[in-house]
A and B are shown apart, each in its own frame.
Chain A
């Protein structure tokens, strides 16, 4: 792949982070994935989330697992994640709170017109307040319209960035710092709503198992590219609001993903997407086999 280069005359004056980015980033690396986190330059060295916030590792997994990072545009929304986007070496747009799926719809269509010969992926990444409450109209309408992009929701079950208000994805009975009466209704079943609204691939999980997150993200993006809308909901607990220490995020996720728990792994795949993903899998296996044979 032709990677972006710095003009020779200016290489030596560029800040070292850009020199390293050009020389060492994982763009174009076919088997990039979560294992590049921590060694690859572009996968967020610094972030502005609270120390230990699970959103920070979830964000890294998402970035590391994009199949086509150099031709991906992410659309964010206001919230804790929007403070991370300035540190990210992937094209991204900050949209007005709640509008992310509307902005992504226009963007995806425009990219398809402007670059008909290129694969351009659009990925929305927003909090649950943006996805399920204030932006629910935009979220659903984009699914009804079969817009071809992936929506990822970092579900921390409340409005974290503004101090802990109740959100649609908050669990029943939870008392937030700014929701003292306690949630009176059930957690909105967004994965099921996504499935019934036309999403061809839906997955819900915590980010405690990076392999699983990687597979889901790749599936979602590939299906969105070829077939139609996809949705991923990741539990990224707000340790600050639920009163956990910075080392306790992982355990909180593990405690919430067992059988019958709120974040038990779920996956819904449309018949069309199933056929497509089977083909992708078969292709990948054949490639691996050929590679092994060549090495032997």
Chain B
């Protein structure tokens, strides 16, 4: 059987979940690129490269980091904003678009100001986003949303997951702490120097 790779879409109206296609989650210290296990440092460099070569690099912070609900969320918010500032300094087209909650909002969302896991493709299409990162999005919503993005858009997805990682993203980290987010900020700075 050909090994399933988690690649940039648009793949299909209903792409399979990567887990059903045999992709397994990384262990601590590892990351996944296209469904393959790599060392986390390799993932950091790849994420930095993808972000820096994107036309519209975008960070989608979810409820777990948007809302001030514990000390960790405050620290993560600072690191995420620093990452966005790095990207924006490199590319003024960079975007920071919140996912405030998961309501299936009707009649519509404004794709310029927010993203919603039930219709993530609208925000991605509207803003022509080609590389994005999910951070602070609860797992079940992230998986749903990442699959929709893979199915219907040509956007490269990165997940900075605080739990075991998201096999439905093209690149996933796991156990995201504030320090790990800062590691990615540093990786972006390092890769910038080589450009």
Contact = CB atoms under 8 A, between A and B. Distances in A.
A296 interface: no
A15 interface: yes
Interface string A1-45: 000111111100111001000000000000000000000000000
A15 B100 contact: yes
Contacts of B106: 48, 86
Given A13-B97, A13-B98, A15-B113, A6 B103 contact: no
B67 A4 contact: yes
Interface string A76-95: 00000000001100000000
Interface string B141-183: 0000000000000000000000000000000000000000000
B77 A8 contact: yes
A14 B80 CA distance: 15
Given A7-B74, A15-B114, A18-B100, 8 more contacts: A6-B67, A7-B77, A10-B77, A10-B96, A10-B98, A14-B66, A14-B98, A86-B103
B129 to A, nearest CB: 15
B181 to A, nearest CB: 12
A15 B100 CA distance: 8
Contacts of A15: 98, 100, 110, 113-114
Nearest to B79: A9
B92 interface: no
A28 to B, nearest CB: 16
Interface string B80-101: 1100000000000000111010
Contacts of B65: 7, 10
Given A4-B67, A6-B68, A7-B77, A13 B96 contact: yes
Nearest to A9: B81
B105 interface: yes
A9 B78 contact: yes
Instruction: Give the one of A13, A14, A87 with max B CB within 10 A.
Output: A13
A124 B81 CA distance: 40
Contacts of A9: 77-78, 80-81
A9 to B, nearest CB: 4
A161 to B, nearest CB: 15
A7 B67 contact: yes
Contacts of B113: 13, 15
Contacts of B81: 9-10
A14 B77 contact: no
Interface in B107-126: 110, 113-114
Contacts of B105: 86-87
Nearest to B84: A9
A48 B69 CA distance: 31
Contacts of A8: 68, 77
Nearest to A18: B100
A15 B69 CA distance: 19
B100 A86 contact: no
Contacts of B110: 15
18 contacts: A4-B67, A6-B66, A7-B66, A7-B77, A8-B68, A8-B77, A9-B77, A10-B66, A13-B97, A13-B98, A14-B100, A15-B110, A15-B113, A15-B114, A18-B100, A86-B103, A86-B104, A86-B105
Given A10-B77, A10-B98, A15-B113, A4 B103 contact: no
B82 to A, nearest CB: 9
B42 to A, nearest CB: 29
B17 interface: no
A167 to B, nearest CB: 26
